[in-house]
Chains A and B, each alone.
Chain A
Amino acid sequence: MSQKDQQKIKGIFPWFGLDIGGTLVKLVYFEPKDITAEEEKEEVESLKSIRKYLTSNVAYGSAGIRDVHLELKDLTLCGRKGNLHFIRFPTHDMPAFIQMGRDKNFSSLHTVFCATGGGAYKFEQDFLTIGDLQLRKLDELDCLIKGILYIDSVGFNGRSQCYYFENPADSEKCQKLPFDLKNLYPLLLVNIGSGVSILAVYSKDNYKRVTGTSLGGGTFFGLCCLLTGCTTFEEALEMASRGDSTKVDKLVRDIYGGDYERFGLPGWAVASSFGNMMSKEKREAVSKEDLARATLITITNNIGSIARMCALNENINQVVFVGNFLRVNTIAMRLLAYALDYWSKGQLKALFSEHEVSDLS
């Protein structure tokens, strides 16, 4: 948002940022903590009720959640001090959200609402006709880059925002370590939402979209729903954490009895995702957990592989993975970290952010 825009709404609360993705809506809310008595008095009832509603709850409706652990405390934003809250809810609840906006009379507060993501376009008309709210649509990639840079600059409540894994393949030795992005650029930014976008970032204002893939978080969750009957992303992840993908996947060693030395392929590498499922007997022998795990491994490995190829083609060796797919998804993060390191022979580093996605407008 330009300086001018910031001036215009400065002082006019509430400060919202909305990222409406294909599956999830991410809402960032700035709760001012430096409200003067005068302000408090002037604060209209609807605004107060929103503030109270958002900050006193951790769950909204059936599926809205505030990620309390992500909350950024005592920030200074546009001259105001306060806390930044991160809330998410499924995109299919968007009509209910707009209805709530109407019920709570948002339109009387201020007329511009900052939003990004495809849904900013999809729901623009609904916001206007139902909620009497005008959306300020912001470019998704711009927002993503700005968000990443901002979040990195403010840190995570005194800790580093960016981290990496050491010994990602070893559950005992694996360590999550802070990473100081001193030499930030160039970096490859891999945003894993329902689908995946990959950006090469050369400076604050110089970036390009390299490619994307439709095999993303939505694919993992969608396939899990079909294969296991699970209903939430968390449930899918939880099942995956208990499963064994090697029952589902055909490994190099299943074909060659060990490493395939001719090509330098280790025996543990997956030769064919879901390859064992070609056989009826093996289909009957796997559990839902195994299937969930295999789905997770398949999607994650593939993203890692595409990201690695993009990094090579763009000649970049820092890869930052963000996006909601990685939320509470340590398996995927560690796998990405390991795969990138292994296949690049240590040339590429996978980095992660405490806030997997940020939309700060």
Chain B
Amino acid sequence: MAERGVRGGGSGGDSLDKSITLPPDEIFRNLENAKRFAIDIGGSLTKLAYYSTVQHKVAKVRSFDHPGKDTEQDHEPPYEISVQEEITARLHFIKFENSYMEACLDFIRDHLVNTETKVIQATGGGAYKFKDLIEEKLRLKVDKEDVMTCLIKGCNFVLKNIPHEAFMYQKDSDPEFRFQTNHPNIFPYLLVNIGSGVSIVKVETEDRFEWIGGSSIGGGTFWGLGALLTKTKKFDELLQLASKGRHANVDMLVQDVYGGAHQTLGLSGNLIASSFGKSATADREFSKEDMAKSLLHMISNDIGQLACLYAKLHGLDRVYFGGFFIRGHPVTMRTITYSINFFSKGEVQALFLRHEGYLGAIGAFLKGAEQDNPNQYSWGENYAGSSGLMSTSPELYPTQRARSGTFDLLEMDRLERPLVNLPLLLDPSSYVPDTVDLTDDALARQYWLTCFEEALDGVVKRAVASQPESTDAAERAEKFRQKYWSKLQTLRHQPFAYGTLTVRSLLDTREHCLNEFNFPDPYSKVKQKENGLALKCFQGVTRSLDSLEWEERQLALVKGLLAGNVFDWGAKAVSDVLESDPQFGFEEAKKKLQERPWLVDSYSKWLQRLKGPPHKCALIFADNSGVDVILGVFPFVRELLFRGTEVILACNSGPALNDVTYSESLIVAERIAAMDPIIHSALQEERLLLVQTGSSSPCLDLSRLDKGLAVLVRERSADLVVIEGMGRAIHTNYHALLCCESLKLAVVKNAWLAERLGGRLFSVIFKYEVPTK
């Protein structure tokens, strides 16, 4: 099963001839729309970068031109949906072995349709060597860029734009990878690039960096000296040898000098006193493996020591390592990490980068694309089009490793708007959106992977059903199935392939894969129908709320918010009930709710708070379309407005599942305003503001939100954040700390998760938190 859907799985196995054995159109994607190329040619690997525009189908919603008729017919939808083409920008990065260079250049030339592109930015040691070939094949002028400048530009770019880019590596811990959440301020840091030599660069700002030192003992020393000592020619083979060797046979250890006494002296006997100290003899033979291992230790320790000395001198504690010596090899990451820990006594962190190999290409590309201002945008890793980290266990998945080592891809989508931190995070640098780290929690990982596998059929059906007029929907849906299935299999074996594995990343990957095959919004029609039905009930619901006493009403409002979360409205049984009598369905849902006290229940505290002065401004993150947003959120918003609290209602920029999108929320608000004077005047007077989150995820990452939202939150001095729904309040942000009051509420609709949290299906989470001053 592991082979199923693996990219290029059916096309000719592992023959390593000079032709491309994998379907090239799956590698050099969107070449026909490509413009602007950059290339980074290293000693053995080439990284190609290009920019393309991708045509996407998107579902747009639009109010009918004749809105607000009082005599609406029962089955008239509240708005119309049209599928339109939208053009988005994408960055493609492809890594391949230098031996494929000619074949790759030929392929690019044959498929490059457009292009006013005249130059190709080139960097890396091999740029010179291949200059003529590139100019001849592509008819582009090669423009050489400084290696280190490119490297640092690339490094800044990935650190800023790719969540979980950097990680610590700990060999014997589970998981081996510890990903860092994006630090709001990446500067200053130390970049230690281990190519044939070592460069140590202090990076202070986007454009300011300084070479502060280096060492000649680097990857070239390992390779060159290793080749002399072991007669092994290839770098990777040398590393293989090293991973099997025992350095103590070659190195003089402290215990060799001190005998057994090191223990009483408090010395670690295994420390190396003198590298190669035991080989100072003519009468012994040493194994290749042992010498390679000794050499690896010698070089890694030396680099680690120098890195620590430089870090100390410049007062830095974050050191990123890159260069071909590292290239994701567990054995080098391990020895470097060990060395850094040893010499800094844990004060300096050795960090590695998932896309380390692409830094030069990214940087060269950015240099060439300066007039497009790529740095003004936020970019997101497209999980559907990226290969992810290689497995660290070559023995386990040799074929996968060979393949990913042959062609490795990274795609990044330009996000329409820049993303920033929510200004209300208590400590942006320690904020982790996700509640459970599935790389860490094997049980949860197995559960969720299986859960997503089992749900896949349903998603495929939904996708096909969403495009009844399309002739190839079934075919595309099948491709989607294969792609997502293979991603899930990759993640089973390499949970860390795309950073920390979380429910959020599984959901996001699914959305990316759906988009990839032009299923931009499978739920659009469901949402449309539900919104229409729920709108019809709005007045009835508010009337009955208004008839309640104040205290009773507060509870009813909260229950209303929760009720929207009870059912998966996509399920057929539920939609039937809804269709016949939505208000009845809503009441039924309330009955399903767990009786108080809830699983997490700080309602009394909340009620107490409501008796006090009104909040200045509430920021509410909405969840589902239909009943949830219309009968749950809007009445709640209405009450807040009534109390004198301004409301910022934030909805997703793009579609995800049946979540309400920003454009849908605009229409819904408009329709409600037509029925309700409170909402109407609040919209008019800008006491109720609708904004987009910048996200298209069913979860919520408060460190990557639309800049406009952040600005508004600041302007209005928001002092209450309401997050609802499982995706946003449980899978993510359950532990998020804010510097203002917050309300996290959800109904646990998953029996396994409910049990984990100590409750049962439909347990209620009502978490009202006030920051401790």
Spell out A's residues near B (CB within 8 Å). 21-23, 117-119, 121-125, 193-195, 211, 213-219, 221-223, 225-227, 229-231, 248-250, 255, 262-265, 269-278, 280, 283, 291, 298, 301-302, 305-306, 309-310, 312-313
Question: Is B103 interfacial (CB 8 A cutoff)?
Answer: no
Contact A122 B261 (CB under 8 A): yes
Contacts of A118 in B (CB 8 A): 254, 257-259, 273
15 contacts between A and B (CB under 8 A): A22-B256, A22-B257, A211-B343, A213-B301, A213-B302, A213-B305, A215-B217, A219-B276, A226-B229, A263-B148, A270-B197, A275-B220, A275-B224, A283-B227, A312-B313
Contact B309 A309 (CB under 8 A): yes
Question: Is B154 interfacial (CB 8 A cutoff)?
Answer: no
Contact B277 A255 (CB under 8 A): no
Of B197, B251, B256, B313, which contacts A272 at CB under 8 A? B197
Contact A273 B281 (CB under 8 A): no
Contacts of A225 in B (CB 8 A): 279-282
| Closest chain B CB from A32 CB (angstroms) | 32
User: Which of A193, A231, A263, A312 is most buried by chain B, counting CB atoms within 10 A of its CB?
Assistant: A263
Number of A-B pairs, beta carbon distance below 8 Å: 200
Q: Which residue of A lies closest to B251 (CB)?
A: A214
Bound complex: CA A82 to CA B133 (Å)? 77
| 17 extra A-B contacts, CB within 8 A, seeds A22-B252, A271-B216 | A23-B252, A23-B280, A118-B259, A121-B265, A122-B259, A123-B259, A125-B259, A195-B275, A213-B305, A225-B280, A225-B281, A226-B286, A249-B216, A271-B197, A273-B197, A273-B216, A309-B309
Bound complex: CA A306 to CA B707 (Å)? 46
Contact B228 A222 (CB under 8 A): no
Q: Which residue of B lies closest to A125 (CB)?
A: B259
Q: What string of 1s and 0s marks CB contacts (under 8 Å) between B242-273 and chain A? A: 00000000111010111111100100000111
Of A125, A223, A277, which contacts B279 at CB under 8 A? A223
Of A214, A250, A263, which contacts B275 at CB under 8 A? A214
Contacts of A121 in B (CB 8 A): 258-259, 261-262, 265
Contact A277 B227 (CB under 8 A): yes
Q: Which residue of B lies closest to A291 (CB)?
A: B228
Contact B228 A305 (CB under 8 A): no
Spell out B's residues near A (CB within 8 Å). 43, 125, 146, 148-149, 195-197, 199, 211, 213-221, 223-225, 227-229, 233, 250-252, 254, 256-262, 265, 271-282, 286, 291, 298, 301-302, 305-306, 309-310, 312-313, 343
User: Which of A124, A229, A248, A309 is most buried by chain B, counting CB atoms within 10 A of its CB?
Assistant: A309
User: Which of B215, B220, B258, B274 is most buried by chain A, counting CB atoms within 10 A of its CB?
Assistant: B274
Contact A272 B224 (CB under 8 A): yes
Contacts of B309 in A (CB 8 A): 211, 306, 309-310, 313
10 closest residue pairs by CB, A with B:
A277-B224, A122-B259, A218-B274, A118-B257, A222-B276, A272-B220, A121-B261, A275-B220, A218-B277, A274-B224
Take A222-B278, A271-B216 as given contacts and tell me if A119 and B257 are in contact as well, using a CB distance cutoff of 8 Å. Answer: yes
Take A225-B282, A302-B302 as given contacts and tell me if A262 and B146 are in contact as well, using a CB distance cutoff of 8 Å. Answer: yes
Bound complex: CA A275 to CA B233 (Å)? 13
Contacts of B282 in A (CB 8 A): 225, 229-231
Q: Which residue of A lies closest to B291 (CB)?
A: A226
Contacts of A262 in B (CB 8 A): 146, 148-149, 211
Take A23-B280, A273-B216, A305-B306 as given contacts and tell me if A278 and B227 are in contact as well, using a CB distance cutoff of 8 Å. Answer: yes
Contacts of A271 in B (CB 8 A): 196-197, 216, 220
Take A22-B274, A121-B265 as given contacts and tell me if A283 and B197 are in contact as well, using a CB distance cutoff of 8 Å. Answer: no
Bound complex: CA A230 to CA B281 (Å)? 9
Contact A283 B228 (CB under 8 A): yes
Contacts of A276 in B (CB 8 A): 224
| Closest chain B CB from A273 CB (angstroms) | 4
Bound complex: CA A298 to CA B305 (Å)? 16
Contact A215 B275 (CB under 8 A): yes
Contact A226 B279 (CB under 8 A): yes
Bound complex: CA A26 to CA B157 (Å)? 56
| Closest chain B CB from A226 CB (angstroms) | 5
Contacts of B43 in A (CB 8 A): 278
Q: Which residue of B lies closest to A248 (CB)?
A: B224
User: Which of A215, A280, A301 is most buried by chain B, counting CB atoms within 10 A of its CB?
Assistant: A215
Contact A306 B252 (CB under 8 A): no
Contact B275 A272 (CB under 8 A): no
Take A226-B286, A274-B221, A313-B313 as given contacts and tell me if A215 and B302 are in contact as well, using a CB distance cutoff of 8 Å. Answer: yes
Contact B274 A277 (CB under 8 A): no
Contact A214 B301 (CB under 8 A): yes
Contact A305 B215 (CB under 8 A): yes
Bound complex: CA A269 to CA B215 (Å)? 10
Q: Which residue of A lies closest to B231 (CB)?
A: A283
| Closest chain B CB from A216 CB (angstroms) | 5
Bound complex: CA A305 to CA B302 (Å)? 11
Bound complex: CA A250 to CA B197 (Å)? 9
Contact A275 B196 (CB under 8 A): yes
| Closest chain A CB from B766 CB (angstroms) | 54
Bound complex: CA A231 to CA B283 (Å)? 9
Take A278-B196, A298-B216 as given contacts and tell me if A214 and B298 are in contact as well, using a CB distance cutoff of 8 Å. Answer: yes
Contact A22 B279 (CB under 8 A): no
Of A214, A218, A278, which contacts B223 at CB under 8 A? A278
| Closest chain B CB from A333 CB (angstroms) | 19
Contact A273 B258 (CB under 8 A): no
Bound complex: CA A269 to CA B214 (Å)? 11
| Closest chain B CB from A98 CB (angstroms) | 13
Bound complex: CA A283 to CA B280 (Å)? 22
Contacts of B252 in A (CB 8 A): 22-23, 194-195, 218
Of A22, A229, A264, A305, which contacts B273 at CB under 8 A? A22
Bound complex: CA A226 to CA B225 (Å)? 11
Contacts of B213 in A (CB 8 A): 305, 309
Contact B261 A302 (CB under 8 A): no
| Closest chain A CB from B34 CB (angstroms) | 30
Bound complex: CA A309 to CA B200 (Å)? 13
Contact A298 B221 (CB under 8 A): yes
Q: Which residue of A lies closest to B264 (CB)?
A: A121
Bound complex: CA A280 to CA B234 (Å)? 11
Contacts of A125 in B (CB 8 A): 259
Contacts of B229 in A (CB 8 A): 226-227
Contact A23 B274 (CB under 8 A): yes
Contacts of B215 in A (CB 8 A): 302, 305
| Closest chain A CB from B40 CB (angstroms) | 15
Contact A273 B217 (CB under 8 A): yes
| Closest chain A CB from B342 CB (angstroms) | 10
Of A124, A218, A275, A310, which contacts B276 at CB under 8 A? A218
Bound complex: CA A248 to CA B221 (Å)? 10
Of B148, B199, B280, which contacts A218 at CB under 8 A? B280
Q: Which residue of B lies closest to A280 (CB)?
A: B233
Bound complex: CA A248 to CA B216 (Å)? 12
Contact A274 B274 (CB under 8 A): no
Of A221, A269, A274, A283, which contacts B220 at CB under 8 A? A274
Bound complex: CA A122 to CA B264 (Å)? 12
Contact B280 A214 (CB under 8 A): no
Contacts of B221 in A (CB 8 A): 272-275, 298
Bound complex: CA A249 to CA B215 (Å)? 12
Bound complex: CA A196 to CA B217 (Å)? 17
| Closest chain A CB from B282 CB (angstroms) | 5
| Closest chain A CB from B527 CB (angstroms) | 55
Contact B125 A255 (CB under 8 A): yes
Of A123, A222, A229, which contacts B274 at CB under 8 A? A222
Contact B302 A309 (CB under 8 A): no
Contact B274 A195 (CB under 8 A): yes
Of B220, B260, B275, B313, which contacts A309 at CB under 8 A? B313
